[in-house]
Structure 1
């Protein structure tokens, strides 16, 4: 099984090449580890946390930075079943984060406090997806 936690250099370069002055939505799909995998010596390494608990710590420690740059969660849900897609692919949770622009996202990930917090995300996840979407008009039609 391929596992994705961080963007590849090519994917991150493509993200950086997109317009930076428009609102964006980031779809996050999360698959937690049974037990968080912290680096040896990390303050949480010996706590026996689940991946879900480590991700909660990531949310708690990165949340103030996310909000400061103008981010908000516009949708959140718990996975139930695959309707269209590979039968063997499952997720635990998903959410859509909205940023006022990609500059806000870059500001967040460059923040030293965020960089300390992201170790919790890495420890928490066995697999994930992060996809950028341009904001569109919501309504009744497809």
Structure 2
């Protein structure tokens, strides 16, 4: 049975927090949307018939100003086409790399009360995701 991930485990989040906090970070996001968004009972968007992709657009709309306010930018975005190396059961719908000036900016964003309201849209939208932190390296040139 496939295992799905929406939020970090306590252990993974602690590993993230233990890394240096004063250097730029890149966060690779891989997203797999639900066919129908699953909002909690009583939420303003519960029962509105949105697709997961539509709910994720709402997440982007409501969290975007907070993300930009902490200095975040999207440095790459792409739409999945096919798996070349990896498990066949992972057909990601969307992927992007978010850049933050440092991990403190990421923490500031996720602690923001307005972000905490917005993230409900992300949870409703996704059936599976990956969020991976990278230290930015040089771009251009070859593989070495």
Structure-2-length-normalised TM-score:
0.98
How far off its partner does 1:141 sit? 1.2
Unaligned runs of 5+ in 2: none
1:43 aligns with 2:77: no
Q: Which residue of 1 aligns with 2:15?
A: 14
SS in 1 for 2:63: helix
Q: Which residue of 2 aligns with 1:85?
A: 86
1:56 aligns with 2:57: yes
Q: Which residue of 2 aligns with 1:71?
A: 72
Aligned residue pairs, count: 142
Q: Which residue of 2 aligns with 1:127?
A: 128
Unaligned runs of 5+ in 1: none
Q: Partners in 1 of 2:22 and 2:38 — Cα distance? A: 36
Q: Partners in 2 of 1:41 and 1:105 — Cα distance? A: 29
How far off its partner does 1:131 sit? 0.2
| Aligned CA-pair RMSD | 0.4
SS in 1 for 2:37: coil
Q: Partners in 2 of 1:65 and 1:89 — Cα distance? A: 30
Q: Partners in 2 of 1:88 and 1:4 — Cα distance? A: 14
Q: Partners in 2 of 1:48 and 1:78 — Cα distance? A: 23
